């Protein structure tokens, strides 16, 4: 599973971070950092929820 974020769309609402904090982190600089770009299957449910909750549809999950 590979995660890509469209940073032109991202508004740093951090809902992804609330769903999958192991994978997404919005830091105090206001930017989103992807901590694991190719997470294992154990993260799939949370990553799927993170993509669903993103208000700007900035997260794409492939594979």
- The residue ranges that bind another protein (CB under 8 A) are 9, 11-15, 17-18, 21, 25-28, 30, 52-53, 55-57
Q: Which residues pair with 61 in a beta bridge?
A: 3
- 25 SS3 class: strand
Closer of 36 and 48 to another protein (Cβ): 48
Smallest distance from the beta carbon of 47 to another protein, in angstroms?
A: 15
Three-state DSSP class for 5? strand
Q: Cβ closer to another protein: 19 or 39?
A: 19
Phi and psi torsions of 45, nearest 5°:
-60, -45
């Amino acid at each position: 599973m590979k995660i890509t974020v469209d940073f032109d769309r991202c508004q740093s609402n951090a809902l992804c971070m609330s769903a999958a904090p192991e994978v997404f982190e919005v830091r105090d600089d206001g930017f989103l950092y992807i901590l694991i770009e190719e997470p294992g299957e154990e993260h799939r449910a949370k990553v799927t929820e993170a993509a669903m909750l993103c208000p700007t549809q900035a997260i794409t999950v492939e594979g």
